[in-house]
Amino acid sequence: MPLLVNRGFMYFLPSDFCKKNKILGRIGMLILPVFAFILIIWCLPVIGNVNVPSYCIGVDFGTESVRVGIWDTEKVDDPFYPVVSKAVPYKTYFPQPGFAEQNPNDWWNCLSQAMKQCIDEGKINVKYVKGLAIDCTACSVCALDENFVPLCNSLLWMDQRSSQQTKYILDKAKGNEFLKVNSNGNGPISAEWMIPKSLWLKQNEPLIWKKCKVICEKQDFLNFKLTGLLTTSGCNVAARWNWNAISACKRRYYKDDSYEGRPLSLLKLIDLEDIVEKWPKQCIAMGEKIGCLTKDAAEFLGLTSDVEVIQVLTHSVSLTHFLTHSLQNRREVPTPMLG
């Protein structure tokens, strides 16, 4: 060891000088390790401050396009730094006046395009992506078969074909406790919502209704594609499905004949009781983890299967701030109650 140190010291002083000045050479043998130790200690704070990113991905599905944004929540000089964002459009179909439809498969394919563009342009190391959340326009209704494949185009939120069904529901069930969200049961009821759209499907597309095993929202369909888990949102069911969301979220799963929070008395009045078995069985409050990406979803999006998928609010809410808060604090955010 002294020989190595001495040789190291000789890089700083001419070798002839060290040989002729043995005392200085010995002093150098002592000083060099001390100098190296001080240098390491001095560099440690700098090494410790090397920024390791922690990415959150917010996905906003609007009426005309999907927008993907990636934020670095660990950037030293900006703790919520927007790294990159991309948008990819999809097509809307208008088969009749008042009708508006989209193909659910288009949403999924456009999400993959936007995600990969963000990863490439932002030079994102995907192993540092911690979480992802999706918000969507609502209520856009999807009818899926037993394999979760769409049986028809989604009835987009702005589709008004169920306007007659809204009048029928109010005539049959005015004052029902589950209509409290509609001006304390007095209406009006919006054709944008889940129950009128579903009733239109049952009355006008009986073959699709018979084949479909799942009736859900756009957000539910996309979260299923991400995680392989069929769930729904406490926010959506409170605002647009006429559920009691607090009861539904408290009992995250329902079994047997227990349908917590579901509007059974309302559905019975309008002959739509069979929809209960088609709705997702899990209702998840905002801020809760749904699951992680499946291997197939991770590969399709260019991410890893460690990425957590978080349930967030509906369209036009600051979902990325919400996602970051949920990942960091793991605290459930209160779900709004009907009425």
State the pLDDT at residue 294.
97
Are 21 and 76 in the same domain? no
pLDDT of 78 reads 65
What is residue 186's predicted lDDT score, i.e. its pLDDT? 79
The span from the CA of 162 to the CA of 272, in Å, is 14
Predicted confidence at residue 339, as pLDDT, reads 29
Q: List residues bridging with 58 in a β-sheet.
A: 69, 133
Q: What SS3 class is residue 164?
A: helix
| pLDDT score at 265 | 94
Does pLDDT of 45 surpass 60? no
What pLDDT does residue 180 have? 84
Does residue 153 form part of some domain? yes
- Is 127 in the same domain as 107? yes
Q: Rg of the Cα trace of the chain?
A: 29
Percentage of residues in the chain having pLDDT higher than 90:
59
Q: What is the distance between the alpha carbons of residues 280 and 251, in angstroms, rounded to a whole number? A: 13
State yes or no: pLDDT of 153 exceeds 90: yes
The residue with greater pLDDT, 2 or 284, is: 284
Please state, rounded to an integer, the average pLDDT across all residues of the chain: 83
Q: Which domain holds residue 11?
A: 2-48
Note the pLDDT of residue 184: 78
301 φ, ψ (degrees, to nearest 5):
-95, -10
Of 48, 64, 81, the last residue of a domain is 48
Structural domain count of the chain: 2
Looking up residue 227, the CATH number of its domain turns out to be 3.30.420.40
pLDDT (0 to 100) of residue 148: 96
Pairing of strands 308-310, 289-292: antiparallel
- Per-residue pLDDT reduced to its tens digit, 89-138: 999 999 999 999 999 999 999 999 999 999 999 999 999 999 999 999 98
pLDDT digits (tens, 9 = 90+) for 210-251: 999 999 999 999 999 999 999 999 989 998 999 988 888 876
pLDDT at 338: 33
Query: For residue 85, is pLDDT > 80?
Result: yes
Residues 32 and 116 in one domain: no
Quick one: 11 and 109 in the same domain?
Answer: no
Shared domain check, 64 and 171: yes
Q: Which pLDDT value is given to residue 255?
A: 59
Q: Is residue 155 part of a domain?
A: yes
Say if CB 136 and CB 192 are below 8 A apart.
Answer: no
203 & 176 share domain: yes
Distance separating alpha carbons of residues 163 and 200, to the nearest angstrom: 9
Same-domain status, 70 and 121? yes
Mean pLDDT along residues 48-56: 73
Per-residue pLDDT, 3: 40
Domain match, 17 and 155 both: no
Alpha carbon distance 98, 117 (integer Å): 35
Report the amino acid identity of residue 101.
E
Q: How confident is the model at residue 39 (pLDDT cuts 50, 70, 90)?
A: low
For the cut 50, the answer to whether the pLDDT of residue 6 exceeds it is no
Residues 231 and 105 in one domain: yes
Task: Give the global pTM.
Answer: 0.79
267-320 pLDDT, tens digit per residue, is 999 999 999 999 999 999 988 999 999 999 999 999 999 999 999 877 644 454
In-domain check, residue 337:
no
**How far is residue 180's CA from residue 81's CA, in Å, rounded to a whole number?**
42
* Selected residue with higher pLDDT from 44 and 92: 92
Contact 185, 215 (CB under 8 A): no
DSSP string, 85-116: EEEEE---B-SSTT--EE-HHHHHHHHHHHHH
